[in-house]
Structure 1
Amino acid sequence: MSAKYIFNPKKLLLLVFIGVVGLSGCKKFLDVNQDPNKPSTADPNLLLPVSQVAVGTVVGNYFQVYGNIWGQYWTQGPSASQYRSIERYNDPNTAFDQVWNRIYTKALINAQLIIDSKVGGVEQTKGIAYLTKAYTFQLATDAFGDIPVGDALQTTNLSPKYIAQAAVYDSIFNYIDKGVALIGVANAVKPPGSQDVVFQGDMAQWKAFANTLKLKAYLRLTNIDPAKASAGIAALYATSPVFLTKDASIKYSSTGGNDNPLYSEIVGLGKPQNLVASATAVDQFVANNDPRVLQLYVPVAGTTTVTTLVQGTFAQFPTSVVSTPSALVGASPNNAQSALAPVKFISASESYFLQAEAVARGWATGDVNDLFAKGINASFVATGITDAAIAATYITTARDGQLALTAAASPEAKVKAIITQKYYALCGFQGFEAWSEYRRTGYPDFLIISKAAPAGTAVGPRRMLYPNSESVTNLNYPGTIALNVPVWWGKKN
């Protein structure tokens, strides 16, 4: 990916957005960073969007590309070459330097600066920082496995220790609880307001985010520690939690350099058609008569046909005209509306499917059929299909809709139906989450090995590689772990 976000920690980039009121009224601040080597005296509210937007760049660009390719929504286009190594499962360690740097020196360091700030009256902002920290550490550990946590944010420590994923998850739960306690402070002197580019200072939404994130984190443990997962979910539900019913997302604009980070990447590369429709996902949309396919991909001009490539066959069809992902998900090279595509941290649809899975496993109370339908409805609305009758027809008639859930005779079969439908809902918007759910559950069961992978490859990627930067700077570097080695919780796949 492009090198325009490389961070030099020896240079202090001053915060220039004092008085900023959110994305729409600011200068370009996607690359603004507070120097972690100097004490921060800035208002923590001004650091908050820096941390949040850094997370948005990770989720909406780096992880979006890997997730949507390895999750087989997208594949490398035949007329370009940027992501061929991803399809071939042979990216070098250096390919992950920038995203690791973005996670630690921008997203997490700025969140920690907020938490450590001596400025008074910013409890709610600190609460959001804890939740951002929890969310970001989960992204990192789900991608890489064991990672540095506590001493990683001590900026004088050049060789932070890696800790086991089980301990990382314990930290995540701890950070969520700390965040919830702080966002509940009602008398914040300096509330975050519109500096919070996710929920604009709405603490009720952040509480719902915290509950949904905790549910997701416990469900990650399903196959590695089901007792802990079920007990944690039971304890969560004992609090009568409210979960997200709207997307936790960053909305972008086409002015001031604040466009969708994936589209910004595409523009920086000269707008090549690197990303095209994968037959793996599209064939399943078509088999279900799913109208979302025409919202998520660009059909051939003058038709309603989405053309595809089998995953990894870019070299076999060099002159093929293949549909691109749509502007809705920020990946249509020649449609400037891509600049406006949101980056979703947790979507409303994902929230409903998480709840449905918890109920299907017998770990929570609720109506699994209703939650399943709400997850589909939320996805239809997110793709611009607002006619409830269209969604209702799909739910009742599609092969992988209510028919599949009703036919499921066991909790595992119900989970398969839920995760398969969740896969469709995550298409294009949340590729990394879809790939993670596949690694956790083995669903959907129709993913294939990329045709560009080395001969004899038996499994697809199960993790990302530790960056080369760690191998040359961190004395505690654990060594390269191959792409096909599952992360701690990825027992099934």
Structure 2
Amino acid sequence: MKKIIFSVAILSLFMTGCVNDEADFNDNKDKPYDVPSQTLLTNAEKALADQMTTPSVNSGPFRYLSQTWAATQYTDESRYFFITRKVSDVHWRVLYASVIGNLQSTKDAIAKEVKPSSQSQADFDRIQKNKTAIADILQLYTFQVLVDTFGNIPYSEAVTTGIVLPKYDDAATVYSSLITKLDATIASIDASTSSFSAGDVIYSGNMAKWKLFANSLKVKIGINLVDANPALAKSTIESAYTAGVITTNANNASFKYTTAAPNYSTLYANLVASGRNDFVPTSNIIDAMNTLADPRRDAYFTLYNGVYKGGVYGTANAYANFSHISAKIAAADFPALLFEATEVNFYLAEAAARGLSVGGTVETYYNNAIRASFENWGVAGVDAYLLTPGVAYATAPGTFKEKIGRQAWIGLFNRGFESWTTYRRLDYPVLVAPATASAAAEGVVPKRLTYPINEQTVNNANWTAASTAIGGDKLANKIFWDKL
């Protein structure tokens, strides 16, 4: 199988100081390329799950950006110094090359598969469409993550053969295209038949669940659009809800790790296998949960001298003097979540609060989100918790944004990227940049990551145009949907 010239992202993996625009540049003449589609899919799913879950300071700063984890000795990233380790470059490279690139190769491999003699052409075609749909959905999910990280991104030319230095597309235009492509992909799914018999670690080829995933992605895109494009947000969310979304944990999009290297969780890799003690939970999250006597604390944290005690965000914290991340989270086979009922129910709560038709009230979905969180973490006591004055929707302080924002921040404790995104959209809970933060953050919690340094040096003309279009390649500049 021939590899696509996959923009600067692929080049950043292999380049040795020059750019070659020959059509066969990425071909390795000494290596076989007949990799099965299921293997390529597995590799892409694992790369995506790893990147969205990793706490590594080299590539996954999102628990710092949501201020739920604090550093012990290496504090640069918790203070928004992301240049030293080229955090943006790693995030960009993994998502473009290891995820989107592998998924494009997956689709190429699917297109070359030969029908078994025992199977009818019609059955084979339906199965192949389903396989392609899975790769398409995951690509679209990944493109949204890239938009939500950087703003304008390479999109229309990102997987185009022969284009080495792709242009950047307007982020709002990308969002609209994602919705259109999701609609087409959903329409192509035949949930009555199969897809991958192996290789799909997330849903084992279950197309009914992939359809729920795709519609949940529409809700996620739509909820981000509520202030930027209310009409498109409304049609996107309501159509997705009507078609069916993830509202129970049985349908969570979970990547299952094993207990053996190299397929154990990236959390285990960083918290246990590394032999390092680089992280503690923050006082921000622990104090908030202590105030509410939140029963999930035991699932999230360890006790320190009989209490839950968090470190100070943005400073160096002595590991021995604070609570730690729980053994549950640090387990080698603890799964990564790309979508979960807690997340989607909070989106639906927000949609209901804004007057959209999603079949329930804000309070119903708010409660459902919290219930789903307790259930997913295996924690009892949700009924009593929901009656707590600071938790009960009717009595919890603040606007719907504050109520939902506070509980989503707690419920998405292990979903750093989505926690940061929810904070950016709702502006709750109130997070303050540390006094020693990088001057590049301009005194605020970053609203985006800056583009990779490699893009500045290799794809400079397109990087310059993109940076100018968004008002400058700055941490403090908001993604287009972040209006308030």
Partner of 1:129: 135
Distance 1:279 1:158, change over 3 A: same
Alpha-carbon contact 2:51-2:60 (below 8 Å) kept:
no
* Identity level (%): 28
Give the corresponding residue for 1:299: 303
Q: How does 1:145-294 map to 2 (within 5 A)?
A: 145-184=151-190, 186-187=192-193, 191-237=195-241, 239-246=242-249, 247-266=252-271, 270-294=274-298
Residue in structure 1 matching 2:475, options 465, 476, 483: 483
Residues 218 and 342 from structure 1, CA distance in 2 versus in 1: closer, same or farther, beyond 3 angstroms?
same
Q: Are 1:56 and 2:49 an aligned pair?
A: yes
Cα offset, 1:217, TM superposition: 0.4
SS in 1 for 2:338: strand
**Residue 40 (structure 1) shift:** 6.1
The reply to whether residue 396 of structure 1 matches residue 397 of structure 2 is no
Question: Once the two structures are superposed, what CA deviation does each residue of 1:89-133 show, in whole Å capped at 9, x if it has no partner?
Answer: 222172222221111111001212233442354221110111101
Aligned partners of 1:397 and 1:403 also within 8 Å: no
Correspondent of 1:459 among 444, 447, 466: 444
What is the rounded CA distance, in whole Å, between the counterparts of 1:148 and 1:230 in structure 2? 27
What corresponds to 1:46 in structure 2?
Answer: 39
Match of 1:426 in 2: 412
Q: Show the counterpart of 1:450.
A: 434
In the alignment, is residue 437 of structure 1 matched against residue 422 of structure 2? yes
**Map 1:83-162 → 2, pairs under 5 A:** 84-92=75-83, 94-117=86-109, 118-120=111-113, 121=124, 122-162=128-168
Residue equivalent to 2:312: 310
Pair 1:356–1:318, CA change in 2 (3 A): closer
Per-residue CA deviation, residues 217-272 of structure 1 (Å, 9 max, x unaligned), is 000012212222123223334x442434222121111114101123324456x422
The CA distance in 2 between the partners of 1:370 and 1:230, in whole Å, is 19
Asked if structure 2 preserves the Cα contact closer than 8 Å seen for 1:130 and 1:178, the reply is no
Q: Give the match's secondary structure for 1:162.
A: coil
**TM-score normalised according to structure 2 size:** 0.83
1:423 partner letter: W
Aligned-partner SS, 1:488: coil
Contact 1:307-1:322 at 8 Å conserved across structures: yes
1:362 maps to: 355
- The 2-side partners of 1:215 and 1:60 are apart by 21
**1:417-445 Cα shifts (integer Å, max 9, x gaps):** 12221111001x20110111111110123
Q: TM-score, normalised by structure 1?
A: 0.82
Provide the rounded CA distance (Å) in 2 between the counterparts of 1:457 and 1:285.
Answer: 29
Q: Relative to structure 1, is the Cα distance of residues 418 and 318 closer, same or farther in structure 2, using a 3 angstrom cutoff? A: closer
The CA deviation string for residues 317-372 of structure 1, in whole angstroms up to 9 with x for no partner, is 65861222223333xxxxxx2x2221111111111111111112111231332222
CA distance in 2, matches of 1:310, 1:106: 35
CA distance in structure 2 between the aligned counterparts of 1:242 and 1:436, rounded to whole angstroms:
20
Q: Secondary structure at the match of 2:175?
A: helix
In 2, the alpha carbon distance for the partners of 1:37 and 1:392 equals: 59
Distance 1:123 1:42, change over 3 A: farther
Q: How far 1:8 sits from its partner (Å)?
A: 4.2
Q: CA separation in 2, counterparts of 1:234 and 1:36?
A: 43
Q: Partner of 1:193: helix, strand, or coil?
A: coil
For residues 319 and 187 of structure 1, the distance between their equivalents in structure 2, rounded to whole angstroms, comes to 52
Tell whether the 8 Å contact from 2:191 to 2:207 is kept in structure 1 after alignment.
Answer: no
How many residues align? The count is 436
Name the CA distance, whole Å, in 1 between partners of 2:394 and 2:197: 44
Go from structure 1 to structure 2 and tell me whether the alpha carbon gap of 1:213 and 1:135 turns closer, same or farther (over 3 Å shift).
same
Deviation at 1:396, TM superposition (A): 0.9
Match of 1:327 in 2: 327
Secondary structure of the residue aligned to 2:308 is coil
- Does the CA-based 8 Å contact 1:449-1:458 persist in structure 2? yes
Unpaired runs of 5+ in structure 2?
1-9, 17-24, 114-123
Q: Distance in 1 between matches of 2:310 and 2:178?
A: 39
Counterpart-to-counterpart distance in 1, 2:266 and 2:356: 37
Partner SS state of residue 259, structure 1: coil
- Residue in 1 aligned with 2:454? 469
Whether the 8 Å contact between 2:52 and 2:60 is mirrored in structure 1 is no
SS in 2 for 1:276: strand
Q: Does 1:377 align with 2:371?
A: yes
- Pairwise CA distance, 1:280: 0.9
**Distance of 1:6 and 1:312 partners within structure 2:** 34
Amino acid in the other structure paired with 1:250: F
Q: Distance in 1 between matches of 2:272 and 2:181?
A: 37
Q: Secondary structure at the match of 2:368?
A: helix
**Gaps spanning 5+ residues in structure 1: where?**
12-34, 331-336
Aligned to 1:350: 343
**Conserved? CA contact 1:40–1:113, under 8 Å:** no
Shift of 1:62: 5.9
Measure how far apart 1:149 and its partner are. 0.6
1:167 positional shift: 1.2
Distance 1:174 1:200 in 2: 26
Distance 2:288 2:268 in 1: 26
Aligned-pair CA distance for 1:65: 3.9
Show structure 1 runs of 4+ deviating over 6 A.
Answer: none
Contact 1:220 1:440 in 2 (8 A): yes
